[in-house]
Each structure stands twice: as C-alpha cells, then as structure tokens.
Amino acid sequence: MSTMKETLLEKIENREVRIAVIGIGYVGLPLVVEFAKEGYHVTGVDVNAEKVRLINEGHSYIPDVPTEELAGLVDKGLISASTDFSVLGEVDAISICVPTPLRKTKDPDMSYIIAATDEIVKYCRKGQLIVLESTTYPGTTDELIIPRLVKNGFTLGEDIFICFSPERVDPGNPVYNTRNTPKVIGGATPNCVEVATALYGKAINTIIPVSSTAAAEMVKLLENTFRAVNIGLVNEMAIMCDKLDVNVWEVIEAASTKPFGFMTFYPGPGLGGHCIPIDPLYLSWKLKALNYNARFIEMASEINSSMPPYVVTKVMDTLNTVKKSVNGAKVLVMGVAYKRDIDDLRESPALDIIHLLQDRGAEVSYHDAFVPTMHHEGLKMESVDLTEEAVSAADCVVIVTDHTTIDYAWLAEHARIIVDTRNALKNIKNPKALVELL
C-alpha cells in the first residue's frame, strides 16, 4: 500500500498533480506559467476578480509574462483562474504568493497570509503539499501556518506536507526569471522537502534544500537585508563625498574595478519597491520580540529614508545659487517609478520628494512614460509630455528615476538646472544645464 508521499511523488512524475497558486501577481503568475509549461493543470486563485477574468481570457497583466505565452496555456486548458477558494479542495499542491506589506505602524501585516491559510483550512485534505512563498519573518510557517493546518487528525510529513520557499523574482530582469533562478526550499520534515523538491524541480532548474522552514525564511531576509544595508552604506558614502567635495560616482566606478571582495551599489534618491525597504523590517520586528535590536537594519532604514529630504535640500541649495527660492519654483521630476524601466510606484522615493517639494511651495510636475497617471499616496497627477517648453519652463529638473528611454543629452541641452540623483548624465560632456549631482 503506497504511502501518501509515494502517491504524491508518483502523481508528480506522471504530471497528474493539480496545482493551485494563491495570489496571481508578479510572483504567482510566472509560477503558474512555469508549472503549466511542464504540463501541469494550474489554477490561479485570487480575490481580485479582474485578474481572474484577464487570466481566463488569456491576457497577461504582468510585464514579465508574455500574453501570447499565457493565452496558449489557457487555450490548452492547463491554466485557469478563480475567485472561488473551494478549488483548493480539488488540488494536490498549493503555493501561497500573497503580499506581506507593513502596517502604518511599520509592523508586519500578516493579514494576507492568515486569510489565505484560513481558506486552505476550510478545504485542505490529506495528501496535499502546501508551500508558502511570501517573504516573511523566520518562524511564520512554524508558528502561523502549521498550527492552523495540521489539526483534524493530519500527520505532518505523512499526510500533509508543508514548506517555505522564498520567491526570488526581480521584476524586469532580462536575464533571470522564475525558471532559471535557484529555488531555496525548507520543509517542516524531510518528507515535506522531498515532495516540494520533486514538484518544484519540474518547473525550476535548480532546487536548494535547507534544513528548516525558518532557515528558508531567513535566507530571503539575508538576501534583501544585504541589499538594503549596502544601499544605505553607499547612500551615506554619497553624503560624505558631498561634504568632502569628492565625486561619489567616480569613487564607486573606480572601486568597482576591484575584481574581488567588492560588489557595486549606487546611491540614489531613496529605497523603493515592496521588498527591499520592507523585508528587513520583518526581521528587525521579529528580533525585537526576542529583545534584540537589529542595528544594521535600523541604521540602513534611517539613512535610506533620509535620502528624499536630502534630494530636496539639494534642489533648494541649487536654486539658491541662481537666487531662486523653492517656494514658487517650477520643478519637473523625471521618473517616478521606484526603479528604471518599470511602472511600479510602490514605496517610490519620488512620491516623498514630490510631497516635500510641494510642502515648500514648489509647483511640481512629472514626466514618466511608464506611469502616465499617478493617483497614489495623496498625489493625483498626470505625466507631462517631454517637450522643450516643459523642460525649459522648469526652474529645476530632478532626475529621480533614470529610465533608459530618455534622451539625457537632449534634456541637458534644454534644462536650466538639473539635480541628477542617478548619474544619468554621466556620458554628457559639457551640458548646457547647471548640473548638481547627488
């Protein structure tokens, strides 16, 4: 008589396993597609009826997922989507890819994970694999997921299999995608890891098993804390170089020639995105509960959060050199997305910079072809056309996001003053505009 594990492993081999992915956003939808490309039937489950409709019509709303690829898999009947969580009772494997934001109090908002888990509790049955992918603090799987799921006579690792596997999606990355980025998996028991490895290994090239769910949760937080702290370091370097009258960009380029023991990060207007500014605070929050203060995380967060005001001070000081006050000045912000060549505004430092400039009486407009309209965090604005009139009418242009679609030579030709927070003008020799670098 086969054990539940053996039955599941066999169904995985035979492509009979049916999969549900809860949360079909920039993490969940690529995962749905990768499993379907391997011949598995995958259902995207989401509370957002519009996303469900678009998927069932074969339309992708995630730039990294081509519509034609999604449509082909939907037409084959391999991909479907639903707002009805009862489908969770019909599948063999469930991946949870829901958001883990911060509350206004900067505490972790676990409501999405808990809501998804409570839906699974209603429908889960023996023989299922459940994998949490949402970035969260170490201990979440063991403390929140397992106690909710492993009751009613379930035996963990025998008839229910639970793992944590961090998502590693870098939106817009032209090289690394869900399939070719190694996937870390930590399970509640060795059987759990074995089952998850067998399934994910069908859709992802490299699986990296670790010894526990907490280790896997910590791997992700190390990865993103590493980035937040190093970006904080290089932002402080920018502030120090400014005081020393040294060009930080030149220093970084030269340091980057070191072929070992150095990794290049660049200063900027602040830390955007729904991961890097937020994930480390999940870790520091957890450690506070254990009476430990994660100093690097706190310090990096403090420095990175100080960059938008630092940029606004740069604008004020530069206007001052031409005897202009920021109060009443026309300021054009170039790029509002949180990083180049994407349309995502979440935690974008541009929002803080615009608010701070408006608070000081500036008349602020923005241009961002990726963000034609912005209705976000109290701002309701439209992107202005990038014309000579718009640029030359501005008392100051601030490059906040360095989209590669902009002709920076043209901009430097027609702007009066440019505050460049991304060294976007690095290749422009003798710009006509007065340029102030971060």
Q: Which residues are catalytic?
A: 275
Q: Does 168 bind ligand SAJ (CB under 6 A)?
A: yes
Nearest residue to 188 via CA among 156, 143, 140: 156
Q: Which is closer to ligand SAJ, CB of 130 or CB of 276?
A: 276
Interacting stretch for ligand SAJ, rule CB under 6 A, among 67-75, 89-97, 119-127, 272-280? Answer: 272-280
Q: Does 280 bind ligand SAJ (CB under 6 A)?
A: no
Q: Which is closer to ligand SAJ, CB of 3 or CB of 206?
A: 206
Nearest residue to 167 via CA among 270, 286, 25: 25
Q: Which is closer to ligand SAJ, CB of 157 or CB of 273?
A: 273
Interacting stretch for ligand SAJ, rule CB under 6 A, among 96-104, 255-263, 265-273, 412-420? Answer: 265-273
- What's the min distance (Å) between Cβ of 90 and ligand SAJ? 30
Tell me the CB-side half-sphere exposure of residue 193, using CA atoms within 13 A.
17
Q: Which is closer to ligand SAJ, CB of 170 or CB of 388?
A: 170
| Single residue of 61, 123, 154, 266 touching ligand SAJ by CB under 6 A | 266
Q: What does the angle CA 157 – CA 158 – CA 163 come to, to the nearest 5 degrees?
A: 25
| Single residue of 116, 163, 169, 303 touching ligand SAJ by CB under 6 A | 169
Interacting stretch for ligand SAJ, rule CB under 6 A, among 57-65, 70-78, 165-173, 410-418? Answer: 165-173
**What pairs with residue 162 in β-bridges?**
130
Q: Which is closer to ligand SAJ, CB of 185 or CB of 329?
A: 185
Element (H, E) at 128: strand 128-132
Q: Rounded CA gap, 138 and 142, in Å?
A: 9
The token duo for 437 is 């670098």
Q: How far is CA 59 from CA 50, 54, 80, 383, in A?
A: 11, 5, 12, 26
Q: Which is closer to ligand SAJ, CB of 178 or CB of 213?
A: 178
216 Cβ partners below 8 Å, 6+ apart?
Answer: 163, 164, 165, 166, 184, 185, 186, 210
| Single residue of 164, 249, 310, 338 touching ligand SAJ by CB under 6 A | 338
Element (H, E) at 96: strand 93-96
The token duo for 2 is 């086969």
Q: How far is CA 145 from CA 113, 114, 131, 132, 217, in A?
A: 8, 8, 10, 9, 13
Only one residue has tokens 């990768």, namely: 34
Q: Rounded CA gap, 83 and 167, in Å?
A: 22
Q: In what order do the strands lie in the sheet with 18-22?
A: 79-82, 41-45, 18-22, 93-96, 128-132, 160-164, 183-187, 207-210
Interacting stretch for ligand SAJ, rule CB under 6 A, among 38-46, 67-75, 164-172, 326-334? Answer: 164-172
Looking at residue 145, the DSSP 8-state letter turns out to be: I
- What's the min distance (Å) between Cβ of 172 and ligand SAJ? 7
| Single residue of 22, 196, 214, 271 touching ligand SAJ by CB under 6 A | 271
Q: Does 249 bind ligand SAJ (CB under 6 A)?
A: no
Give me the 209-238 binding string for ligand SAJ, x by CB under 6 A, dash otherwise: ---------------x--x---x-------
Q: Does 171 bind ligand SAJ (CB under 6 A)?
A: yes
The token duo for 29 is 């939808």
Q: Does 371 bind ligand SAJ (CB under 6 A)?
A: no
Q: Does 275 bind ligand SAJ (CB under 6 A)?
A: yes
The token duo for 31 is 């995962």
Q: Which is closer to ligand SAJ, CB of 9 or CB of 132?
A: 132
Q: Does 170 bind ligand SAJ (CB under 6 A)?
A: yes
The token duo for 94 is 């469930």
Q: Does 132 bind ligand SAJ (CB under 6 A)?
A: no
Q: Which is closer to ligand SAJ, CB of 28 or CB of 272?
A: 272
Q: Does 339 bind ligand SAJ (CB under 6 A)?
A: yes
| Single residue of 138, 268, 308, 335 touching ligand SAJ by CB under 6 A | 268
User: Under DSSP, is residue 86 helix (H, G, I), strand (E, B) or coil?
Assistant: helix
The H-assigned helical ranges of 245-377 are: 248-255, 279-289, 295-305, 307-321, 349-359
Size of the site for ligand SAJ (CB under 6 A): 18
Q: List contacts with ligand SAJ (CB under 6 A).
A: 135, 168-171, 224, 227, 231, 265-266, 268, 271-273, 275-276, 338-339
